[in-house]
Structures are given as structure tokens and as C-alpha cells.
Amino acid sequence: MLEDKILVVDDEQSMREFLDIMLKKEGYKVSLASNGEEVLKYIDKDIFDLVLLDIRMPKMDGIAVLKKIKSTSPETVVIMITAYASADTAIKAMKEGAYDYITKPFKVDEIKLIIKNALEKKHLQKENVLLKQVVRDRYVFENIIGQSPKMLALYDLLHKVAPTKTNVLITGESGTGKELVAKAIHFNSPRKEKPFVTLNCGAIPEALLESELFGHMKGAFTDAIATKKGLFEMADEGTIFLDEISELPLMMQVKLLRVLQDREFKRVGGTEDIRVDVRIIAATNKDLERAVKEKRFREDLYYRLNVIQIKLPSLRERREDIPVLAAHFLKRYSEELNKNISRISPEALHLLLNYEYPGNVRELQNIIERAVVISRDTIISLHDLPFGDIDECETFGSKKEGRLRQSIEGMEQKMIVDAMEKAGYHQTKAAEALGISERMLRYKLKKYGLKDSSLGPS
């Protein structure tokens, strides 16, 4: 656990010593400065959670120091101390970003409470930003949808893994739900009240990765206009999710390995070792063992991350879950889009069950969302699905449209022939049974070259 760091700034030695003793008894990590120049040296080397800053000081007054602190480390909370309280001084300090001010002589309980409230507010704001106001109930294991044997085995493993501190490697194709599983592990662990921080290793330029993970000091590089905490520091006592870990450059793999081994790091441009307690969950859709053999991924890092591996099955490996997943997404998007769509027609579900899903669950989700958007009925039918149009197949990620289209068209032709036979070759009744318009049925008959003579008795 990282202790809250407080910098006490006062030109009176007795006041500095008094606050030093009092704050250390409260469990804070305290540094002391007697003037503005010492403050500047401190904030160039470290980030403080809170600064107690005297307004009246020689050489550089408290307002000038406040401006410097806020320009270097905007997240630092500053509480002003003064023996010469005035409305003008207080208003000026607040305008420059001070959290509050107290007057000398002050009561010990009063300053303890102000500091406690200030830091609690700061931590709450940080957590809200990191969690992006997610609804935690969404990440209970039951919301990882599926009833197939592979999913039941997955639930069992997740229940065993979540309560531990162990690092986890989640593998699986794109769209199988790796981030959802990572969040479920975190929110069902003892760390659930602490931050869950996510980084897509393939989405950050290599030059910025170290700063993103470990933070930087002001002036450490050209664009470092303020001191910034990195994701590891922000995730202290919580979980960091490193998605697409295979995309991490080799140089950063070395630095990440050190964090895993020593649980400490330095900010870019910093000199202080920062210790953290962070659980790491990594994910990849690539073959990391192969990357290790090809020297593209460090073997020692692989074994540090791969303490427990959770392999997520593709949707093709658990087709029996397609109906329940489709129903789940149908309910979700019907409610979100305020549409009264109750079910999926048997014919449409048949197509959904036989599609290959190169994009896995995410692709099924997109298909159902699209169907809900364009449907004008209370039932999702064949013509609400994208499979009939090759361009739309590509929109949903299929790179095998030729073979897939032939397969789907073959099934569609058979369904049309069956429906026409059952309806006594009455187009209106057949269209109704298929869940499509009569106009659409005529289009399909013409498309497949199915005339009355080819369907049955003349």
C-alpha cells in the first residue's frame, strides 16, 4: 500500500516540527520545507498527495508557490495555512486551485478532519475516473453468458482464481470476452473496492508506453508539461489489465519484468523507487509460446505472467450458447433502443447457429444490435440479418465470404423450398412462415432461380 504523501511548508520551525509529529502519528509520509525554493526542489523529484502551505513566507509567498505546485502537479491537493486570515487572501487562494485554508492557531482535530476529507475526496475522484463509473454488478460471473460444458468449466476456474493474488494470463481469439473476464475476476476479488486499470499495449506508441505505465516527472521529456502518475501507481492495491500483451516492445518487457519481480519502479525522469501492490491480469489473442520461441517475447516474463492461464473458447466451440447469448443481446438492445422485439424467428436462429463467427461473441452482439435497429416487427427475421449481402458480411468481419455465402445461401434455398411446400406453394403463407415480406420472398425466389415448376407440381 502506498502511504499518502504530505509536504508541510512553513517558515516557522516549531510549526513544521509540530505538524510532522502529528501527521506521522496519523500514518502519513511527511516531508518538510521552510520556503518556496525548497518546495520547488521537492516537487521536481516527487508527487505529493497533499501540501500544507503557509501563505506568508520570505522570498516567495504562498500564492506564488501554489501556482507552481498546480502547474507541475495539478492533482496535488493544497491547503493554505495563515495567521493573517482575510476574505481576499482566501478567495485568491481558492481561485488559484487551493482546496481549503485554515487559520493559526488551529485545533488539531480540525486540521486532521480537513486533511482526511480532502484526501478521501481525491481518492474517490481517482477511483471514479479509473472505473469510468462502471456498474460493478455487471461483472458478476453469472453475466459471462453461457451454459455449455466449456463455459461451466470456465466458471469453476474463475471462482477458484478470483480470491487469490496470483497473476493471470487470459488467452483467446478476438471478441471472446477477455476484458469482461478480467473485470469479473477483479470485482469478485478482495481488491474489488480498489481501482481496475486497463491498458491496451498495442494502442499506445512505444515512445509513450513507459510514461503511461510508470508516470513521469515534469520536464522529463518535451511534452511532459506536468508531473504525472502512471497506471501502476494509480492501480495500487487494485488490478491492472494489460490487454494485447504480445504487442509490448522488448525494452518495455524488461521494465515490466522488474516490476513483477521487485514490485517497484521509477517514474520517467524520477529518482525515487515507488513500491506498489498490484495484481496483473494480461491478455492476448496471439500464440505467446511461439512468440517466445521466435525471441519476440521474453521467456522469463511469459512465465511470470502465465501463473494461471484462462483460455476462452471461441463461439464456434460452444454453439449451444448462441441462443442464450442472442436472447441476452436481443433483450439488452430492445430495452436500450426502446423497441418491442420479443424473439428471434426459428429460421433466423437457424442461420445464427450455423454461422462461423470470426469475430466471436462481439460479432454476434453486433449482428443482434443491427437486427434490432433495422427490424420493423416484433420478431427478428431472416431479412434483419446481414448474411444475404456480401458487403454487410464484410462489415461484420468475415474474410471468408465466398464459402460462407454459399453455405448460407444453400440453407436459405432449402428453407424457402420447405416453406413453399408446407404452404401448398402459396407465397403469402410461405412468406409469413419464414418471417419475411412477400416482396422479399419473390426477390429470393428470383435470386435463386426458383420458379413454380422447380418447387412442385404445376
Predicted confidence at residue 128, as pLDDT, reads 58
Predicted confidence at residue 441, as pLDDT, reads 84
Phi, psi (5° rounding) for residue 211?
-65, -40
One fold for both 136-311 and 318-455? Answer: no
**Rounded CA gap, 39 and 33, in Å?**
6
Residue 33 neighbours by CB distance under 10 Å: 23
Chain-centre distance of CA 353, in angstroms? 30
Predicted confidence at residue 396, as pLDDT, reads 42
Predicted confidence at residue 129, as pLDDT, reads 54
Predicted confidence at residue 391, as pLDDT, reads 43
Predicted confidence at residue 224, as pLDDT, reads 82
Task: Give, in order, the Cα–Cα distances in Å from 392 to each of 81, 349, 388, 425, 445.
Answer: 65, 18, 8, 31, 21
pLDDT tens for the chain, residues 1 to 458: 567 899 999 988 999 999 999 999 999 999 999 999 999 999 988 889 999 998 888 788 889 999 999 988 888 999 998 876 566 777 788 888 898 888 888 888 889 999 998 998 887 766 655 554 444 445 556 568 888 999 999 999 999 999 999 999 999 999 999 999 999 999 999 999 899 999 999 888 888 899 999 999 988 888 888 888 899 999 999 999 999 999 999 999 999 999 999 999 999 998 889 999 999 999 999 999 999 999 999 999 999 999 999 999 999 999 999 999 999 999 999 999 999 999 999 989 999 998 999 999 999 999 999 999 999 999 999 889 987 443 444 444 444 445 555 656 677 787 888 888 888 888 888 887 776 778 778 888 888 787 654 465 54
CATH 3.40.50.300 applies to domain 136-311: yes
Output the CA angle 147-131-218, nearest 5 degrees. 145
- Whether the bond between 105 and the residue before it is cis, its omega within 30 degrees of 0, is yes
Cell of 106: 488551529
Q: Is the dihedral of CA 322, 327, 329, 330 positive or negative?
A: positive
- Long-range Cβ contacts of 362-366 (<8 Å, 24+ apart): 362/174, 362/175, 362/177, 363/175, 363/315, 363/396, 363/397, 364/315, 364/322, 364/325, 364/326, 364/329, 365/325, 365/329, 366/396
Placement of cell 500500500 in the chain: 1
Cβ-contact 403, 393 below 8 angstroms: no
Q: Where are the alpha helices (DSSP H) in 306-345?
A: 322-336
Closest CA to 5 of 41, 31, 42: 31
**Rounded CA gap, 361 and 148, in Å?**
14
Instruction: Parse the chain into domains and list their residue ranges.
Output: 5-131, 136-311, 318-455
Please name the fold of domain 5-131.
Rossmann fold (3.40.50)
pTM: 0.67
Helix (H) or strand (E) holding 36: helix 36-45
Predicted confidence at residue 453, as pLDDT, reads 44
Kindly list the strands in the beta sheet with 168-171, ordered across the sheet, starting from the edge strand earlier in the chain.
196-200, 239-243, 279-284, 168-171, 308-311
Chain-centre distance of CA 185, in angstroms? 13
**Rounded CA gap, 228 and 455, in Å?**
72
How crowded is the C-beta side of 244, counted as CA atoms within 13 Å?
11
Q: Is the dihedral of CA 7, 13, 19, 22 positive or negative?
A: positive
Helix (H) or strand (E) holding 241: strand 239-243
Q: Is the dihedral of CA 105, 66, 267, 233 positive or negative?
A: positive
Helix (H) or strand (E) holding 239: strand 239-243
Placement of cell 462502471 in the chain: 134
How crowded is the C-beta side of 186, counted as CA atoms within 13 Å?
28
How crowded is the C-beta side of 29, counted as CA atoms within 13 Å?
9
CATH architecture designation of domain 318-455: Orthogonal Bundle (1.10)
Residue 198, SS3 per DSSP: strand
Residue 322 neighbours by CB distance under 10 Å: 21
